[in-house]
Amino acid sequence: MKVVLFCGGLGMRMREDAASAPKPMAMIGDRPLLWHVMRYYAHFGHQDFVLCLGYGAAAVKEYFLRYDETRSNDFTLARGGRDLRLFSTDITDWNITFIDTGLTATIGERLMRVRRHVENEEMFLANYADTLTDAPLPAMIERFATSTAVASLLAVPVQSTHHVLDISAGDRVERVRPIRDLMQWENGGYFVLRPEIFAALRAGEDLVPHAFDRLLPTGRLMAQRHTGFWRAADTFKDRAELEELYRSARCPWMLWDPQRTRPGGPVLVR
């Protein structure tokens, strides 16, 4: 199944005194965020990627044109470096299409600009290039395939670390609790789509909320609730936390590397 990844957004500031870097190319360990997202899909057998490029397109292209398998795979070097034998590979079986979708396009417009690459598919996958999860993708696809939905999204608990207050009429705080306890849900990406989605897209609008709003009256937008690991790298703090998880070998999203994942499996709430 083809995977469309939106890689064209503006970069995030990695240091207060540094220039912004392309968000998909922020490093987690030895590999960029984009690679981690792609590796997640490849783990489940989805290795045909369409990258919607914009800001930082040259950096994304250069990375894959000069890809070094030895950075994340064990190998044997012999004959003074003339022979290299990899024990495993990452992207040998990947097919990656690089499409320039513009510097200022919305997600919806980027999707429209790669339509010809996916419109003949029965279903296809799409996602932001800076969110990581351990969600059970095969179960999500199966549930979507048996529905009449045009689109599904991963619904995750609100990620804010702030607390909400229950306040009495006399301004007395009666309860303090994390926002997550309210069990409100936010869009976590990891979309499964049918080509009918293109009928709901418009120039100058976005996939969320505009196109999805058009699916609501007919009940053709599905939420797949996930209470396991999900993290977006929107800020330097987010990336630093992901980097710390990587350094401590606690990486729930790295399902392809059991040595780095936590015990226990993901949870899908139906």
Instruction: List, run by run, the mean pLDDT of 10-residue segments along the chain (270 residues).
Output: 91 48 86 96 97 94 90 81 81 94 94 97 97 97 97 89 78 77 86 98 95 96 95 88 92 91 46
Where helices occur in the chain by DSSP H, the ranges are 33-43, 57-65, 107-113, 137-145, 212-215, 236-247
Instruction: State residue 178's pLDDT score.
Output: 75
Domain-by-domain residue ranges, the chain? 2-269
In eight-state DSSP terms, residue 262 is: P
pTM of the predicted protein model:
0.87
The domain defined by 2-269 carries CATH number 3.90.550.10:
yes
Instruction: State residue 18's pLDDT score.
Output: 45
Task: Answer positive or negative: Cα dihedral of 13, 18, 19, 24.
Answer: negative
Where helices occur in 102-255 by DSSP H, the ranges are 107-113, 137-145, 212-215, 236-247
Instruction: State residue 161's pLDDT score.
Output: 66
Task: Give the integer Cα–Cα distance in Å for 178 and 131.
Answer: 22
Instruction: State residue 269's pLDDT score.
Output: 38
Query: Which residues lie closer than 8 Å to 130 by C-beta, 6 or more apart?
Result: 23, 24, 26, 33, 34, 37, 232, 233, 234
Residue 209, preceding bond cis, omega within 30 degrees? yes
Q: Which helix (H) or strand (E) holds 5?
A: strand 2-6
Could you tell me what percentage of the chain is helix, strand and coil, using 3-state DSSP and rounding each to the nearest 5?
30, 25, 40
Beta bridge partners of 221: 151
Instruction: State residue 86's pLDDT score.
Output: 83
Instruction: State residue 133's pLDDT score.
Output: 97
Instruction: State residue 13's pLDDT score.
Output: 47
